[in-house]
Chain A
Amino acid sequence: MKTENRALNDIRVLDMAGSIGVYATKLLADLGADVIRIEPPGGDPMRSIGPFIEDRNHLENSLFFIHYNAEKKSITLNIDSERGSKLFKKLVENVDVIVESLPPGFMESVGLGYPVLRRINPRLILTSVTAFGQTGPYKDFKAYDLIGQAMGGILHSLGPVGGPPTALGGNQAYHMASAYAAIGTLIALLNRDVTGKGHWVDISMQAAMIRMTERITLDYWLYGQNRKRIGGLEFYRGIRVRFPCKDGEVFCSALGGAGAEAMLQWMESEGMAGDLRDEKYADILRAMQGIPLAKGSQQKTTGSFASSLMSMLKYPEELLIHIEDVWQAFLLTHTREELFIGAQQRGVRLLPINDVIGVCEDKVLNDRAFFVDIAYPDLGMVLRDTGAPYRLSETPWKVMRRAPFIGEHNHEIYHTELGLSDTDIKKLTEAHVI
């Protein structure tokens, strides 16, 4: 059946990743990999992270766990025990990838370092996702998402003017580390397709976060200046980009920047352009549109760090404020959807801003059937979650199975695959190995 034909159907993954790396294995699972999550006996600490279904804090109720672990299997195993370690090695014989996020050196300390695993299975790809990587002076430092944002160089630039650095919500440093882990794993897999040999992939959350900072370090290297917090202003021109409208907010600089002429015509047709056609706005409007300034103008188009980055700020403040006021008055007469469609049809890249409700009810996303419904018969529920980040024509992204309960697949893996008897399994369970 075509819907079950997925890109990574031939790949089995052991998932030992904590929050920092769990999105990596979700990405692999949704592309068809057989991902087996290894939980400590008693359940994964991730099951204690909220939010929870109906706010009931229970290990099988964590929506955090459910979101990141749908489509995976679960077995319980304590690798830090003699019998557990043996079982783990047995599993390693038949897996393609392990993703783990234990402190550097921990796997070695329990006799399961990469050299040992590679001897068992030379084709194995071991992906280690940690805050700072496997080497270097900070490798043993502890870090959560907030620290990743801090040391990755993005946090200092975020937040209001004069206020404290303010972090991104939603564990974006974890997402970034995980995305890099998935990329590293797949690069190693492609190389293995050719060479037959596995790799140890070493991911640092800090290094991954640096890749989100655009030109923060570049600007220091070039100009010896650190980025300032400028609140919600757009960096390149130093102007506002969030504006309220009739029923919410939209994202677009005043008059739509390069599309200012088209927007002015729209505003004029509704009698909302005010006095913006006055000569005194000519230079600033040309600058907004990126048109070279008129001859004889005192303004230069290029210049030092400050002027080139905050190009709008070199014009008299009252002019810019007035333009924003006229723009704002126009926006307040229209809804988000009217502005979105009206601006886009005029070539202006205005987008509505959403909160989570707005996203879930967004017309564009729903028309394209973005969200995915996952059945949880045991709970008598169907959970609606985010859908595919990409659509592959031949091997579709798909979530077909709800997140597993603790050790749900112990019997399938230990009995059916590894051939352990029910008595063995019972003994191992009593000894807290599984």
Chain B
Amino acid sequence: MAGSMSQSLLKGIRVVDFSWVQAGPWVGRFFANYGAEVIRIESTLRMDWARNVPGDPEVLNGKHHKGALFTNVNCDKLGITLNLKHPKAIKIAWKLIAISDVVIDNFTADVMENLGLGYDDLIKIKPDIIALSMPVFGKTGPYRNFGGYGNAIWGMAGLDSLSGKLGQPLTASIALADFGPNPTHAAIALLAALHYRNRTGKGQFIELAQLESTACWLGPSVLDYTVNRHTATGHGNRSLYAAPHGVYRCTGDDKWCAIAVQTEEEWASFCKAIDKQELIDDIRFSSLAKRKENEDQLDWIIEAWAIERTPEEVMTWLQDAGVAAGVVETGEDLLLYDQQAKYREYFVTLDHPDGKTFCENTTIAFSGTPARVRRPGPVMGQDNEYVYKEILGMTEEEINKCYVDGVFD
């Protein structure tokens, strides 16, 4: 069966996921998609923001609107309700952690400790536990209880200043840090720690300060400052090391194609492809330095060529000539027209108790068999019965009492 091997790569690993909203839940998704049992802990008293995004309650054409962001980031996870503020809840959480491998949270620094779920508590229950905490400013220092959202973290970490035109830093309307550096770094640290535990039997605590993790994506620009005292800035779509390098308007409404020429060989191919061979030897463009010097003129020539064509035509025409070019794709392009996305099934629709829902697929392919997302994120408390009864061995009576007492709120 296609994908079945990939779906069980991490079989046998159990993750207790206390995280919420975006940056934290994305970490557990890497585990869930490849076969680990990831149990997301929620409470109706402190609803995950993502359950209401988008917030429209109606179901249109069988498509389930409400909380699709939640169903995406929590796909393939089990979901249980447990009110950690209830005095009886902590023992149940400990019982679950005692038979688990990984614990994840993304609260500010002291929250887990105050709940009785700090690392020092966890190792008493499960000596080889691997625990990940990802507060914005880390677990120590005067700012440990301060917080921030993914878009602001990206800005504080300096990354806005690398984008946009000179002197006009670009702020994205997406909380990039929640999708890029933070969940990926967290997953990498956890996976490496699991490998170390396989070798030595030892668990450990992982602290990921989201500000630090995000600052790592400044790349060499920190060295450029500390060594050369240069402050990197944005260059629009241009590059200091390549030209032409830009986004060009094409035929159609808000249609664009990106083109990047890095080598002299590609420059010659590009000139031939746009039927302007004379540019190869044109004194204005005969080297990278020259092309950078006369980049406005160069871009005008390319714009005039591109505007006569659709972005798909520009892309395929230039790619056939060995030049890097790509449609600046919209959501519509990715869903309907991108042949690669279709072929490799980058998106899936899934049955949800409230109608069909939509999910990004698993992204990484192993030995030719991409894992496919099997289940959308759980509805609130969807797996209470399985987890409390089958995994923890609680009786019907105990479970009912927990419901009545508000332990499972």
Interface, chain A (partner B; CB < 8 A): 7-8, 10-11, 27, 31, 49-51, 53-55, 63-64, 66-68, 132-159, 164-172, 175-176, 179-180, 182-184, 186-191, 193-194, 199-204, 206-208, 210-222, 224, 226-227, 230-236, 241-242, 251-252, 302-305, 308-309, 340, 344, 349-360, 362, 364-365, 367-368, 370-371, 381, 383-395
Contacts and interface: CB of A to CB of B under 8 A. Distances in A.
Contact of A54 (B227, B315, B324): B227
A351 B330 contact: no
Interface stretch (B82-90, B202-210, B386-394): B202-210
A146 B258 contact: yes
Given A67-B223, A182-B188, A218-B68, 5 more contacts: A215-B69, A340-B146, A383-B226, A386-B216, A392-B189
9 contacts: A51-B223, A53-B227, A53-B228, A151-B340, A158-B173, A186-B191, A212-B180, A349-B147, A389-B208
Contacts, number: 485
Q: What is the predominant secondary structure among interface residues of chain B facing chain A?
A: mixed
Contacts of A353: 155-156, 160-161, 169
Contact of B55 (A66, A157, A302, A356): A302
A73 B371 CA distance: 34
A184 B155 contact: no
- Counting chain B CB atoms within 10 Å of each CB, the highest count among A352, A358, A394 belongs to A394
Interface of B: 9-10, 12-13, 30, 34, 53-57, 60, 63, 65, 68-69, 72, 137-138, 140-143, 146-149, 151-153, 155-165, 169-176, 179-181, 184-189, 191-196, 198-199, 202-209, 211-213, 215-228, 230-237, 239-242, 245, 247, 249, 254, 256-258, 260, 262, 315, 319, 322-335, 338-341, 343-344, 346-347, 349, 358, 360-361, 363-368
A320 to B, nearest CB: 17
B11 to A, nearest CB: 8
Identify the interface centre among B180, B198, B254: most chain A CB within 10 Å of its CB. Answer: B180
B39 to A, nearest CB: 19
A147 B324 contact: yes
A357 B225 contact: yes
Contacts of A226: 330-332
Given A227-B331, A392-B204, A252 B162 contact: no
B196 A7 contact: yes
B196 A186 contact: no
B365 A351 contact: no
Contacts of A303: 56
B323 A142 contact: yes
Contacts of A222: 54, 60, 63, 65, 68, 358
A213 B174 contact: yes
B137 A364 contact: yes
Given A138-B339, A202-B366, A155 B231 contact: no
Contacts of B349: 221
Contacts of A214: 69, 174-175, 179
B188 A51 contact: no
Contact of B170 (A212, A216, A232, A233): A232
Given A216-B331, A356-B161, A202 B368 contact: yes
B223 A184 contact: no
B332 A359 contact: no
A76 B170 CA distance: 40
Contact of A359 (B222, B258, B367): B222
Contacts of A144: 242, 260, 262, 324
Ranked nearest first, the 3 interchain pairs of A and B with the lowest CB-CB distance are: A220-B331, A169-B162, A186-B191
A398 to B, nearest CB: 13
Contacts of A154: 172, 174
